Structure 1
């Protein structure tokens, strides 16, 4: 991704996180990115294109956060914890990305053009979590693990739900992380 496109997508994410998807106006977005509206339309065609690209960009940023948080030499169990808990931290950029992701996910109810991108990005995340869970189980038991897609879906869904509770002020970040850690332990105990 070129630097200019990354800069423009960062602006889109900031505007979505501040004003919501319904509040995203191309003019405000262009001003935030310090580019012309014509350039926005050049890169993204229309508002739906902005939303799709923002969602794809957030997926890349989430993958980068996970990669930074999970060193390759980390044991599978610690890797699982980190990759799920990294989404729940008070760092400003992570918080902003969580807000924007939640907005885009909620908007897919009314914006069918987001659904395929959302299905694809979510599916990749679930598959990645399932793969790490499989490593955890196989390391602990020394035998092949069953299909863990359902368990991975439950945990990733829980991350999204807990994120909304934390971001809306229902519970603290500490409590949110505690609940997720407990759920990871409980999920692995059933396998």
Structure 2
């Protein structure tokens, strides 16, 4: 990705987080990114194109800070990279970091999700991103509970990711303290693992 393209998408994430999707105007985005409106249209063609690419950018940025463990010292216990329970918790709990980039990412994601109620094309993109994330979590759960059916692991992953989004919205809006949000999610992770672990082995 070129520096200018990255600057535009970083600016789009910031504007969406602060003003919502309806507040995203190309002229304001150009000022935020320090580029011309013509350059934005050159890279993204139109406003829907900006939104689609901004959504992908937010997903890639979240993948980076959950994969690298940025801010991992914040409420995360150290463990080896091969510990599947740790990998599962880290993937989910690193969405709860009191860092500007994480706050901005989660807020912009929520704004795009709310806007998708009125934008079927964006809804499809969000659904695909959500399904990929749930599949990643289901993979961690399946490694922890290999006897559980894949459908059960996927259902557990969907419950955990939906809970995370709800807790994140409450935390970001100041309705829930950060540590309490983390505690609730950890408890839910434990319950889902316990439930999956109670399944009898799958017959071959």
For residues 85-96 of structure 1, the aligned pairs below 5 Å read 85-96=93-104
Deviations 1:35-64 (A, max 9, x none): 111111111111111111100100111111
Structure 1: where are the runs of 5+ without partners?
Answer: 139-143
**Alignment partner of 1:175 is 2:175:** no
Please state how far the C-alpha of 1:119 moved relative to its aligned partner.
Answer: 1.3
**Alignment partner of 1:145 is 2:153:** no
Please state how far the C-alpha of 1:22 moved relative to its aligned partner.
Answer: 1.3
CA distance in 2, matches of 1:123, 1:72: 27
For residues 99-114 of structure 1, the aligned pairs below 5 Å read 99-114=107-122
Please state how far the C-alpha of 1:82 moved relative to its aligned partner.
Answer: 0.6
TM-score (normalizing by structure 1) = 0.93
CA distance in 2, matches of 1:95, 1:187: 26
- Report how many aligned residue pairs link the two structures: 186
Change (3 A) 1:119 1:72: farther
RMSD: 1.4
TM-score (normalizing by structure 2) = 0.87
CA distance in 2, matches of 1:101, 1:72: 30
Runs of 4+ in 1 over 6 A off after TM superposition: none
